[in-house]
Amino acid sequence: MVPWLPSVVCMLSLAAAPCATTTITSTKIIPPLLVIPILTCTDNITSDMVAAIETSALPALHVLPGFQRACFIRDHQLPTAEIFVFLEWSDFHSWEASRGIVADSLVNASQEAGCAALSYFDDQFDGFRTVLPPDRLALSALNWVCPSNATLETLRHAPIKAGGMRRFLAADAATWTAFLRGQDGFVAKDVLVRYWESLDAGTVAYSMIHWASLEQWKAIPGPDLANTEEQFQEANGYEVPVKAFPSSEDGFACAL
């Protein structure tokens, strides 16, 4: 168990019918995040459906202790089959005490809008926390993506060898994060781990990278990406498989 009570960001999903010698020595977070995708839909999701869910569910959430704010984002591909909702909480225990009410509110609102099922991102009921060092939290201001053309790139890195999380974080910071900072359109990057896992026990990490636009992100030359991955593997000692979310690999955009 960690000795701090982090602020929390919950991530909900509405889906239709889908080196250097840098060392990471601290588990401090600025601020920590809880990320939980929750809902799925049976039909293509429209802006009207998202607006209906917001209108119905958010008033009930705003009165809950610790609730901060919410943001709806979607797959860049349209019509979309998946929506994620970020909910920020001030601390974990407030989230823990409220998540049953949150789930009921969102399920009821989504059913009214044509959505039904409830699920959690990567099956992590307690969510995720950030680890150092972020430039500026990509998720700290959850209205960043609306109504701009901004994009959130989301990646899952696994499996990381047992006991290898600190080396992975150091290699990632020294290669990928350093490279991305120099790219046109880069805004910020967070690296998250499962909420209750210590860095010494963790085998999965998640990157969330905020880009000013999809076009700027996709304009990065392929050879530069390949060269950076080669540098990362050399620093880390082995390749770590990467899975992109959503499945289109074009990241997330504003849902409305």
For position 165, what pLDDT does the model report? 95
Q: What is the mean pLDDT of residues 165-180?
A: 95
pLDDT one-digit tens code per residue, 98-123: 888 888 888 888 888 877 666 677 77
Residue with the larger pLDDT of the pair 80 and 12: 80
Q: What is the mean pLDDT of residues 73-85?
A: 70
Upper half-sphere CA count for residue 36 (Cβ side, 13 Å): 24
CB atoms near residue 106 (< 10 Å): 26
C-alpha distances in angstroms, 163 versus 126, 149, 199, 230, 255?
Answer: 22, 39, 8, 22, 38
Residue with the larger pLDDT of the pair 157 and 48: 157
Is the per-residue pLDDT at 37 higher than 70?
Answer: no
Q: Say what the pTM is.
A: 0.79
Is the per-residue pLDDT at 35 higher than 70?
Answer: no
51 contacts 146 by C-beta, under 8 angstroms:
no
d(CA 159, CA 151): 26
Domains parsed from the chain with CATH numbers? 8-254 (3.30.70.100)
d(CA 117, CA 105): 13
Average pLDDT, the chain: 76
**Closest C-alpha to 221, from 182, 187, 172:** 182
